[in-house]
Every structure is written in C-alpha cells, then in structure tokens.
Amino acid sequence: MRLRSQRQRIRSEKRPGPARRLVNQTRRLGAGEDGSLTYFGLYVILIILMFGGIGVDLMQYERDRANLQYTMDRAVLAAADLDQTLDPESVVRDYLGKAGMAEYLTSVTVDEGLSYRTVSATASADYKTQFMKLSGVDSLTAPAASTAEERIDGVEISLILDVSGSMNSNSRLTNLKVAAKEFVDTMVENTEDGKMSMSIVPYAQQVSTPAVFLDQFNVTSEHNYSNCVNFDSSDFDSAALSTTTELKRTMHFDYTTSSFEGRDNSPPELIKNPVCVPDSDREAMIMQKDATKLKSFINDLSAGGYTSIDLGMKWGTALLDPSVQPAIAKMIDLGEVSADFADRPQTYESGETLKVVVLMTDGENTRQYYLPDEYRTGETGAWWNAEEEVYSVNVGPDLLDRDGDLNLLEDIYYWNELDEWADHPYGNGTYETTKYEWGCTYYNWRGKCKSEGWVESGTETTDEPGTAISLTMGELFAYTTPRKIADSIFQPTMGYYPARNEWYYGPYGNYVNDTTKDTRTKAICDAAKAQDIMVFTIGFEAPSNGLAVLEDCASSSSHFFDVDGLEISDAFASIASSIRKLRLTQ
C-alpha cells in the first residue's frame, strides 16, 4: 500500500496544471506542420481574387477608354475635313452624342485659315469600379485627347487688277501698286519656294496676253499685232479654256481716234488706241513665283480704256483651271514658267493646291468694242504702195471704161494720190516711155544738120516704182482708223455717205454692253465657285453697281471688301493674312 501511494504521489507531482498545459499545447501547435498548406492556399486565393477583380476593372476601364478615344479620333477627323461644311465643334459634339458620350466631352478647339483646319478635343469619363472599390478605389478616370489637321500643300493665285482709265484718278493706280506689291511680298515670304504660283491679269476693255502664251491656243490668225480674245457668252459658263477649241482673236483697231493714218509715217505706225493694247505694261503675267519679277511688273502697270470685269475674271479663272496645263507645259519648255509648276494648274480633285482669285475694280462693267465678222477676214479692195505712199482701190469691173482701153470686163483701180484710173494697182504695172538721144534737130535742103538737140530715139517699157500690196481687213484696220479709211481711202470712189456707212459706222458701232457683261461676270464667278476656287473681291472706290457685281462674285460676304483710298492695302493684307498660313509641307 505504501509503495502504491508513493507512486501516486510521484505522478501527481509530475502532472502540470491548466496554465502549463495551455502553454505546452501552444508550443506543440507552433512546432507542428499539420494544416499549414490550407492556410497558405486560402491566402493565395484571396490575393488571386483581389488581382483578378482589379484585372476585370482594368479591362473594362480600358475598353471604355479605347472606345472613347476611337470616337474622339473619328470626330476630329471629320471636323477637320476641309470639305466639311458644318461647324467643326458641332461635328465633334454630334459624333460623341450619337455614341452616347456627349457628357464626357470637356473641350473643343478649332484653328482654321483659308487653306487649313486644325481641330483638337479632350474628354474625360469616370469608370465605376466593381472590385477595386473593395480596396477603396471607387472609380477610374479615362482621359481622351485627339487632334486632327488638314492642310493644302500649295497655292495658285490669280491677281486680277483693273487698269481702266478711271484708275488714273485720285491716286488709285498708285495706291493699288503699293497694296499689290505688299501682297506679293507677304505671299512669297510666307510660302515655301515653288509652292506658290501667281498670275497677274491686268484688264481694261480687254485682256492682253503674251504672244508666246496665246500661241499655245487655237486662235484665229487675222493678224499678229496684238493678243486678245473675243469670248462668246457661253464661254463664261465654264472655268475651262481649251487649247484646241478655236478662239476668236480680237481685231487690232481703234474706235476712239477720229482720224489717223500711220502707213505714211516714217517709220509706219500702228493705230494709237487699239481695243487690245499690246504693250508689255498691259499684258498678263503668267504663273510666276519670283517677288522681284512680280513687283516690277506691278510697278510698270499703266491705265486706260473701258472696263470689262468679265474678261478679267474669265482669264484669271482659266489660269487656275487644269485645261490650260498644255499651254503651261509649253511655257515651261520655252523657259517662260518655272519647272516647279510642271503639274499646274492642278486638277480640282487633287487637293494639292488652294486656288485663289483676287478680283479688284474701281468701277463697273462698261463697253467692249469689236469688229463684226464681215470686217475680220478677206481682202478690202485697198492696195498700198509703201515706197510711193499711194493707195489704189479696186472698184470692180471697168463698166465705164475709165481707162479708155475699151475693156469693160477688167478690174479697174483708182490711184488715190495720183487721181488716175488704171487696170492695176499703182506699182504693179508698167508704162511706156519715150527714149531721147542727142542728135540733129534741123537739116537744110542739102541734108546738112543745122541744129542739134535731144531727139526721140524710140520707146521703152518701165516698171512703176514701188510695189502695191493688197490689204486684208486685219492689215487695213491696224494702221488706219475707221473714219480715215472711209474718208480718205474709199470716199473718192464710193461717195461720202456710202463710204461712211460701210467703213466707219459699220465697224464702229458694235460692242458688248454693260448688262451683258454683268451677266457674263456672274456666270464666270459662279463657274469658279462651283470648282471651289476661293474668290476674293475688292471694290476700290467703286460705284454701287460695280460693288453689287463684286459682292455677288465673292465666295461669301466676308470675302468681299469695299474700300477707299489707302484702305486698299488693308484689304490686300487681310486676304494675305488668310493665305500666308500656307507654309505647307507634305
């Protein structure tokens, strides 16, 4: 019994208490490895779920952001299109509105000029997170920004300047020259070399072109004294000017000078005031780029004559139309135009160049005189002997036998200055002369010479001096005014009134009036605008009717300027400020 009790006492002393057991259990749990993978797995799963949720939020966020950016890109591209006629900002807002994103748009910025448009837009959308909010991130901001720009690579300009007689008043021509030269400087300085071409078209009653240029067209050949064209009304319905369709050359004639004869001058002189002025200071300058050359041309301009806005606009528009490319190509071959412009005028569809007309006048359409068709071609019946300065006039068959040779069927000619009739023009025939030699003039009854002197020795045939040339209509009117033709050349054989009616009133009283010219101006302006040619017009101290024509011609009311005095420089500067942003590269 004692032994058992002792053992029980020993066991009781070795058994720990509750606190001790708890410590020991904790130690055993910490040292044990049973169940550790389960806890780690739970931890990893929680991490995966957290990042997976973040990934889902981010993917949905990126989807919405990309969709917003895509819509923004499409919107600004459409708004920046130069062919877009709607307000650019409205286009952007409309795109986002139809995509259900209108509330995200924060700004739209539009910068545009005559040949370019830049549209920038920004947007911001808040994406409500589904999983990230569990970690305190309730939303993500999706920003979007887009910019689109469309620019035109080059510019073609036709500067159409009124040089009619009224431009000599009130220092208008002087002020115009200053303004136009400043315009040239601005354009040349602010465009890349070879990207800007400028033609200058001075106009009065007619538009004169360089012979080397007009030679590239199918122009009638009545004369070669000047280089203008008479257009038909239908020609103003199109901006084009074919190099193959026949064009009617303007006759070289003077309807203003009362009486002038230039053939008997030394040297012979053409008429003083032709409808088509052939002087270099009135001819058009074709497609140039050099500022010095352009300004020198402007500085040399002179004024005189009636006003034909329609003709100025027709030529200025034609020089922007691709139909004249063959003529420009030939001008390049001849060294008259820079090879930089080998592809000009560009096609309208190319979009490579902006085409600009600047049309200026101080007046309104007036008159354009022309010779009727019956005075354009053929022989006149007048012959001219330049060496002897003698006119001969063919009056037809010699029914009155004026030369006394009994030949009534031959043509008879009147020699005006000699007041004689003959069967040929003076200078183209011969006459018989008596030959003389020194000999005895008197013999006595014995046959001995008693007196000497000049005696007839026979006859010889002699050519008339000089040579008579038959004058065509073109040649006759180029040196002599209609009144002089009637009174001095044809009156001696026709009589006063018949000669006046046929040779003075007949050719003199034909002209295109102001009403017709206004109609033609509207037609060519509409044709230009239909091809998206930008038309600026400047009324320089012009009357109300002229201003009305110009305002109607302009691309819009903002493209029309009504100025006085030195304000013309402001008008040209305003136009240049729009075009000068064309410092374009591909």
Residue with tokens 């008339």: 464
Identify the weakest region by mean pLDDT among 261-270, 341-350, 405-414. Answer: 405-414
584 confidence band (pLDDT: 50, 70, 90): very low
pLDDT at 81: 84
Distance CA 52, CA 381 (A): 108
The pTM is what?
0.75
Residue 394: φ, ψ to 5°: -85, 120
Using one digit for the tens of pLDDT, what is the confidence trace for 161-172? 999 999 999 999
pLDDT at residue 301 tops 50: yes
pLDDT at residue 20 tops 80: no
Task: Give the Cβ contact number of residue 403 at 10 Å.
Answer: 16
Using one digit for the tens of pLDDT, what is the confidence trace for 562-580? 999 999 999 999 998 877 5
pLDDT at 104: 86
114 confidence band (pLDDT: 50, 70, 90): low
Cβ partners under 8 Å of residue 60, min gap 6: 127, 130
- How far is the CA of 450 from the CAs of 305, 453, 454, in angstroms? 77, 11, 14
pLDDT at residue 479 tops 80: yes
Q: Which class is 154-208+279-370+511-579 in CATH? A: alpha beta
Question: In the beta sheet, which residues pair with residue 535?
Answer: 357
139 confidence band (pLDDT: 50, 70, 90): low
pLDDT at residue 144 tops 80: yes
Residues 56, 130 contacting (CB under 8 angstroms): yes
pLDDT at 189: 85
- What integer is the mean pLDDT of 225-248? 98
Residue 584 sits at the vertex; the CA angle it makes with 359 and 582, to the nearest 5 degrees, is: 30
HEC per residue, 212-258: HHHCCCCECCCCCCCCCEECCHHHHHCCCCCCCCCEEECCCCCCCCC
Q: Count, in order, helices (H) and strands (E) of the chain.
A: 17, 20
Identify the weakest region by mean pLDDT among 29-33, 142-146, 277-281, 300-304. Answer: 29-33
- Give the residue extent of every domain in the chain: 36-151, 154-208+279-370+511-579, 375-508
Using one digit for the tens of pLDDT, what is the confidence trace for 366-418? 999 999 999 999 999 999 999 999 999 999 998 888 878 888 889 999 999 99
How many Å is the Cα radius of gyration of the chain? 47
The share of the chain scoring above pLDDT 90, in percent, equals 65
Distance CA 215, CA 561 (A): 36
pLDDT at 12: 46
Residues 367, 515 contacting (CB under 8 angstroms): no
Tokens encoding 131: 């999983």
pLDDT at 439: 86
57 confidence band (pLDDT: 50, 70, 90): low
Identify the CA nearest to 198 among candidates 284, 101, 326. 284
pLDDT at residue 235 tops 80: yes
Q: SS3 for 469?
A: strand
Instruction: Identify the residue with better confidence: 306 or 62.
Output: 306
pLDDT at 433: 65
- What integer is the mean pLDDT of 244-264? 95
445 confidence band (pLDDT: 50, 70, 90): confident
Mean pLDDT estimate for the chain: 88
pLDDT at 10: 42
Tokens encoding 400: 């009155």
4-8, 65-69, 76-80, 415-419: range with highest mean pLDDT:
415-419
517 confidence band (pLDDT: 50, 70, 90): very high
- Terminal alpha carbon distance of the chain: 118
For residue 267, give the DSSP letter. Answer: S
31 confidence band (pLDDT: 50, 70, 90): low
pLDDT at residue 130 tops 70: no
pLDDT at 315: 99
- What integer is the mean pLDDT of 479-505? 97
